[in-house]
Amino acid sequence: MRGLSAVMLVLACHPALAVCDLSQVVGYQLVFGKTIQGYIEDGKQTSGFEGCTRDRVLVFTDNTGVRCKDTLLHSARLPKAYLFARSANDMKLCVDDDMYDVARPN
Residues 47-71 have pLDDT tens digits of 999 999 999 999 999 999 999 999 9
| For the chain, the helix, strand and coil percentages under 3-state DSSP, each to the nearest 5 | 15, 50, 35
Average pLDDT over residues 19-47: 96
Q: In this model, does residue 74 exceed pLDDT 50? A: yes
Instruction: Give the span between the Cα atoms of 11 and 73, in whole angstroms.
Output: 29
Q: In this model, does residue 11 exceed pLDDT 70? A: no
pTM for this model (two decimals)? 0.81
Mean pLDDT of the chain: 86
